Chains A and B, each alone.
Chain A
Amino acid sequence: AQTVTQSQPEMSVQEAETVTLSCTYDTSENNYYLFWYKQPPSRQMILVIRQEAYKQQNATENRFSVNFQKAAKSFSLKISDSQLGDTAMYFCAFMDSNYQLIWGAGTKLIIKP
């Protein structure tokens, strides 16, 4: 069975700093999708970034980028120039062959002014 591990329950950084959230996963599949979602206190789950396993190039969305290491089964999220609005729970998720999401436990990220 696939599993997703987020080893950092909580992180805190100063505004404008760069922060990296870690995520590792376990699967025997070769083709799959990986996602990062954020959930602010307002509670809506928002897609941050998506990575297709067959693409070697790391996905980027503005200040958000991933470091996808397929062999190591690692999918970390880097947030550059962090902003107060980035404060949220961040969930890493693996999409299995049935197109269902397997979620990590989440990392609570706090951006301090």
Chain B
Amino acid sequence: DTEVTQTPKHLVMGMTNKKSLKCEQHMGHRAMYWYKQKAKKPPELMFVYSYEKLSINESVPSRFSPECPNSSLLNLHLHALQPEDSALYLCASSQVGGRPQHFGDGTRLSIL
């Protein structure tokens, strides 16, 4: 069983829709991450939250909007996405510092 829970597992949306991806962990980790992963490629870092504050934004388009309501939750709000945004979106968490990141199962996102 994964210790990082992502919902939904699959999402199909049109380019004009607004949706949100959710990530939850209860391991007491204070760093949380969003990654985008295309098929047969490694994950690409999108955002990092450290102690509930956005610490890294890897030049991600504004149609992706992250939110960290508390130390256990991480959301990714989606609006006006493009077909090229179709991918697997992975959430991860870790202790701050050189500790391993623990990943969720991901959300498979398809943009029509």
Contacts and interface: CB of A to CB of B under 8 A. Distances in A.
Contacts, number: 49
A45 B103 contact: yes
The A interface is mostly helix, strand or loop, or mixed, namely strand
A86 to B, nearest CB: 18
Contact of B103 (A44, A89, A105): A44
Q: Which of A33, A42, A98, A99 has the most CB of B within 10 A?
A: A99
Given A43-B105, A104-B42, A106-B42, A99 B90 contact: no
Interface residues of B, number: 24
A46 interface: yes
The B interface is mostly helix, strand or loop, or mixed, namely loop
A90 to B, nearest CB: 11
B96 interface: yes
A46 B90 CA distance: 12
Interface residues of A, number: 25
Interface string B90-112: 10101011101111111010000
Nearest to A104: B42
A93 B31 CA distance: 18
Interface string A44-61: 111100101000000000
Interface string A77-113: 0000000000001010101001111011110100000
B45 A44 contact: no
B41 A100 contact: no
Interface of A: 32-33, 35, 37, 42-47, 50, 52, 89, 91, 93, 95, 98-101, 103-106, 108
